[in-house]
Structure 1
Amino acid sequence: MIYDVRAVQKEGDYTDIMTEYSEELFAAALAEHRPKWEKIQDPEVNYSFPIPNTTLKEAFNTIAEKHPDKTYIYYRNHAYTYGECNLWARKIANGLRKIECKKGDRVNTYMSNSPDFVCIAQACFKLGLILVNSNPLDVAYDMEYLMRDCQAKVVIADEISYRAVCDALQNIKNGPKYLILSEVDATLVHDIPQKVETLKTISVYGEEEPQENISPDDIAVLQCTGGTTGIIKECCGTNRAYFARAMAAREFYKPVFPPEDTDKFSIIVGLPFSHAYGFSMGIILNLAFGGNMILTDSVKPSLKEVLEKIEKYKANVWPAVPIWLKLLISEPELQKYDLSSLRSINSGGVSLPLSVLNQVEELTGIMVNEGYGMTETINTITHNSFAHRKPGTVGIPYPNIEYLIVDQEDGNKIVPNGTAGEIIARGVCVIKEYWQKPEETALAIRNRWLYTGDIGMIDEEGYLIILDRKKDLIIVSGFNVFPREIDDIMMTHPGVADSCTVGVPDAIRGEVPKTYVVLDQNHRDVTKEELMDYCNKRLTRYKIPRIIEFINIIPKTKNNKPDRKALKKMHLA
């Protein structure tokens, strides 16, 4: 079979190429892998099952109507029930409808973790509005780009983000119609063309459940990513994809949450909801479990607070990142908390050193389980099973998803086990498309397979090992940072003639950006501190280079591209 795929040669230049693809070949490869995977799967878990035609609205309403008095959220020493949150979500939804939001409109949020954000998300699900989930710590430059790109009708901000949001909105006259504030006095906002409301002022238009015809195939969420290309894109996740993710998690956790225990699911959420990992683990999973979530400060995350809340509320699932686990084993003061309620510690974002994994398990007596995924798959592609975990790997396919390893050139040939290649995946959880980016979509999703850009291999037992990234993506404490974005900003400084950013190892964050700079001959007096301050005003905090080094010339490859490998070697020398 011949398929026409659009391949990006360079920005603004798209060239059609013909790629050979054989469904029979790929099916045969999957058939070869399945017997190995079946041997190391959890016996309680169904790894392939149909997904009900359920929308996110229906899933939440079912739980809220069945258990209205059950605690849904713990936040700042308060408990909020499903009934209370459902009522608040209805009020917000009716208010959004009153200001003429209709199905398919985009609601761009810049919110830290709070019950308000959870209820805003549920309100969007009730109306079929598309939630554009964004980082409240973004700078105005990034916010403005996203508001324009997603064509937001409404922007919602809180006390953390509203100043930057207002700076962005001042430059957009024909964009969003409304700014809605959470826990911020509207009189503090001036000189923007949008109408300003608060959640309280729009929540007076009725408590009834809004009626809207929503399909499982309707887009529910736009979650931002750069993928592996560095171009900011919004991943279009449908109701079906997100509910499939929730159902897959309920299956995956059966060894520690048997069916009679499902509603006892209690997750500590120290990760920001604006990140795909936090949003999925916190809000989405409970649509299938009907449990509760415990929220901590997501703007200035504190491991101490996370551990205190685990002990206080007896959380039993902890989605962690390696930086927290490294701190846990290195600081005796953090080891005094009772974590015995935990049934599972998940580690994601970046790889976890085996020595850290072993020390955490020795300290806590709780299994630490690593997985692998990306925003385009609503987080999870593979995960180690509970019964057959293999440290140093990211496990086997998650329920209802499949993956293969293909050649890195064309991506149409299956490579042998033990051979490095690009990881591709398919399943109900894979995104529908990138928002209004057909070329990027065609490049990433081919013949229903998502080409991840990550390099891995399958070992002799069937476990997936992550080896590298196809592109030069830097992962800082679990956040994707794209060298091109930093270099683009750096190159706008009049004193910079050339710039190249690479990721370098960091004991705490995993990796940090290091930027090599060639100064313009007429601006030799520019200092590293000046450039750091320049970036600080234009880049989100985790994207700012931690190291700047002046260099006479950026080394180049044979194709006259910046030689990042050479720069990394220079750093390590």
Structure 2
Amino acid sequence: METLGQLALKSADAYPGKIAVKDASRSFTYREFIGRAKALAAYFNDLGFKKGDRIGILMSNRLEHIELDIAVALAGMVKVPLNYRLHPKEHQYMIDDAGLSILIGEQLLIDAVEMEVPVLYIDQPYETVLEQFEGKSFFEKVAEDDLFAIMYTSGTTGNPKGVMLSHRNMIAGALSLAQVCEVDYEDIVGHVAPLTHGSNFLSHVSWLYGLTQIVYSKFEPEEFLDHLAADKVSILFLVPTMVNLMIQHPSFDASKLATVKSINMAGSPIAASKLQEALEKAGNIFVETYGQVEAPMCITMMPRNEIRHRLDSCGRIGVFVDVKIVDDENKEVPHGEVGEIIAKGSLVMKGYWNNKKATNETLRDGWLHTGDLGWRDEQGFVHIVDRKKDVIISGGVNIYPREVEEVLNLHKGVKETCVIGVPDDKWGECVVAFVVPNGKEDVTVEQLIGLCKDNLASFKKPKEIFLVEELPKSSYGKILKREMKQQHVEVSK
């Protein structure tokens, strides 16, 4: 393997006149784009920044994310992408924890944060720097295992942790994505999911193949489908929430997906019934990957030709990782038995930034302990059961929330669900479900109870079912179960 900077330079050399990236108002060839990245690297060097210094990025979806990736890689520095949807106090924690040398982004977002860090505002100040350093460049000696990014976890419990990812980690993820998405040299990549997170990994895939990337500023299902058709996008990353919103939109038109080869779904599980609906309406264009920030995207991979036959699996083990499923004593369990998924290999992070304790707890003998429970079938396909911390223990028996959610999602009037465990004086915990109707068919609590009665053992059935307008989600689209538990406390008073 090489480094991300080298990959980008090779693409620029091979396809100098090809469009590298565009948005609604701008378009740059590979020659122009790599020139901008080189100028930024020269600017960082002029400021006296050294190899390993951290550069924060705080902006909405913009093409500058992509050129800053290249600049950081060339300069041997470390990018720290900050999710613009987070609260300024959350940004402040990450900025302080990472020890940034500079923060680059949108003024409105940056000025909301209390900090003493040099800043470069996007738009005119940023473009002025590019003009000043036009034609200049700077290259640092960078190795595969050097740090490229610190990406913060979503912080569902406690403060977020800074995941340290090397050039090797990123390239392993890119090569894996290229395989499962069936990428070729004519593809066009669309970015509408956050470039601070999952969609960014498709940028690195693009450098492998010299692809054109198109950056969209927002996701509105009907308008977005129009853009895909007009721009002839063929490769996408979407979280399942986006897929559901797109597929269930009243004006959904599958013909607008005619050029789309593969939509990689990742970030959270998708119910089998919702995946089946997506396949029926949109066609065989979905692939699925399972991973974590700590092992980006591709611990497992489910290709297009398999997904419709295995709706409840997240695929086979990826090419740059070894996987075991182990019990509480860290012993590997037989096929078909549930245990914790652990992973090791080029995909797995170097550790957590400034957090040796968490690193030692999560990385043991080189194995990443994911905290996810699952099992593996005889054909090698992995099936995610649930998060280890979310398992409901009722009367001494384990109940996996996802199993109950799958049943509730069978109702044609259900948009999405969330199942949690709450304290119960008799059983220790009991099952409670929150259900969001989709408005297409009437849905009642009685109907949902009947579904559970027909499909689940008695002890797994929800004690309570609440119909709600929406579920609280993180900025990455993950359902916040801790908030659901707090909501239950409030309604139970």
TM-score bracket for the superposition, by shorter chain length: 0.7 to 0.9
- Residues 1:397 and 2:328 are matched in the alignment: no
Aligned to 2:411: none
**1:385-534 alignment to 2 at 5 Å?**
385-389=303-307, 390-407=310-327, 409-410=328-329, 412-472=330-390, 505=434, 507=436
Cα 1:128–1:305 shift into 2, 3 Å: farther
Higher relative contact order (CA 8 A, sep 6+): 1
For residues 223 and 416 of structure 1, the distance between their equivalents in structure 2, rounded to whole angstroms, comes to: 34
> 2 CA distance for matches of 1:448 and 1:547?
34
Q: Residues 56-112 of structure 1, C-alpha deviation per residue, up to 9 Å, x if partnerless?
A: 111100101111111111200543211111111111121122222221110011121
For the residue of structure 1 that corresponds to 2:100, the secondary structure is coil
Specify whether residues 309 and 222 from structure 1 end up closer, same or farther in structure 2 by C-alpha distance, changes over 3 A only: same
Structure 2, gaps ≥5 residues long: 392-400, 403-419, 421-430, 439-471
1:150 correspondence with 2:98: yes
Q: Aligned ranges for residues 133-212 of structure 1 at < 5 Å?
A: 133-159=81-107, 161-164=109-112, 167-169=113-115, 172=116, 176=117, 178-183=118-123, 198-201=126-129, 203-212=131-140
After superposition, the CA RMSD in angstroms is: 3.0
1:75 aligned to 2:23? yes
CA distance in 2, matches of 1:72, 1:79: 8
Deviation at 1:160, TM superposition (A): 5.1
Deviations 1:282-338 (A, max 9, x none): x2211222212221114xx22223312210111111222222222333223132652
Q: Residue 105 and residue 292 in structure 1: after superposition, are their counterparts in 2 closer, same or farther (change >3 A)?
A: same
Change (3 A) 1:307 1:540: closer
Residues 561-572 of structure 1: pairs in structure 2 closer than 5 A = none
Distance 1:349 1:60 in 2: 26
1:288 to 2:236 alignment: no
Q: What does 1:83-98 correspond to in 2, within 5 Å? A: 83-98=31-46
Equivalent residue of 1:425, what SS? strand
Is contact 2:83-2:475 (8 Å) kept? no
Superposed CA deviations along residues 118-171 of structure 1, whole A, max 9, x for unmatched, are: 11221111101100011122222111111111111101121552332xx322xx
Residue among 236, 244, 251 paired with 1:326: 244
Q: Distance in 2 between matches of 1:249 and 1:541?
A: 19
Relative to structure 1, the CA distance from residue 472 to residue 357 in structure 2 (aligned partners, 3 Å threshold; closer, same or farther) is closer
* 8 A Cα contact 1:107 1:131, kept in partner: yes
The offset of 1:229, in angstroms, is 5.2
Match of 1:42 in 2: none
Paired with 1:503 and 1:205, the residues of 2 have a C-alpha distance of 59
Distance 2:343 2:374 in 1: 12
Between the two proteins, what is the percent identity of the paired residues?
A: 24
CA-to-aligned-CA distance 1:341-395 (integer Å, 9 cap, x gap)? 1111222222222222222222222332222111111222101134433211101
1:206 deviates by 4.4
Indicate if the aligned counterparts of 2:180 and 2:287 stay in contact, CA closer than 8 A.
no
Which position in structure 2 is the counterpart of 1:247? Answer: 175
In structure 1, what is the Cα distance between the partners aligned to 2:349 and 2:102? Answer: 23
Residue 541 (structure 1) shift: 10
SS at match of 1:346: strand
Where does the alignment leave 5 or more consecutive residues of structure 1 unmatched? Answer: 1-51, 185-196, 476-482, 484-501, 510-535, 553-566
With 106-115 and 224-233 compared, the bigger mean Cα shift is at 224-233
Partner SS for 1:124: helix
Change (3 A) 1:541 1:361: closer
Contact 2:302 2:314 in 1 (8 A): yes
Amino acid at match of 2:256: D
CA distance in 2, matches of 1:105, 1:211: 14
Aligned residues between the structures = 418
Aligned to 1:366: 284
The aligned counterpart of 2:48 is 100
Distance 1:218 1:551, change over 3 A: closer
Cα-to-partner distance string for 1:488-523 (whole Å, 9 max, x where unaligned): xxxxxxxxxxxxxx99645489xxxxxxxxxxxxxx
Please say if residues 337 and 375 of structure 2, whose CA atoms lie closer than 8 Å, have aligned partners that are also in contact: yes
> SS of the residue aligned with 1:419?
coil
Q: Distance in 1 between matches of 2:119 and 2:167?
A: 26
Q: Alignment partner of 2:172: what SS? A: helix
Paired residue for 1:341? 259
| Residues 394 and 268 of structure 1, relative CA distance in 2, 3 Å threshold | same
- Determine the C-alpha separation between the residues in 1 that align with 2:484 and 2:360: 35
TM-score for both structures, normalised by structure 1:
0.67
**Equivalent residue, structure 2, for 1:350:** 268
Number of the residue aligned with 1:314: 232
Q: Could you tell me how far apart the structure 1 residues matched to 2:151 and 2:87 are?
A: 17
Deviation at 1:208, TM superposition (A): 2.8
Q: Give a deviation string over 1:400-428, Cα, whole Å, max 9, x none.
A: 21211001x23x20111111110001110
Distance 1:392 1:210 in 2: 48
The whole-number CA distance in structure 1 between the counterparts of 2:232 and 2:382 is: 33
CA distance in 2, matches of 1:83, 1:506: 51
Whichever residue aligns with residue 185 of structure 2, its letter is D
2:200 to 271, 279, 285: 279
Aligned pair in 2 of structure 1 residues 59, 541: CA closer, same or farther (>3 Å)? closer
Letter in 2 for 1:398: G
Return the alpha-carbon distance in structure 1 between the equivalents of residues 353 and 227 of structure 2: 37
Counterpart for residue 467 of structure 2: none
State the secondary structure of the residue aligned to 1:378.
strand
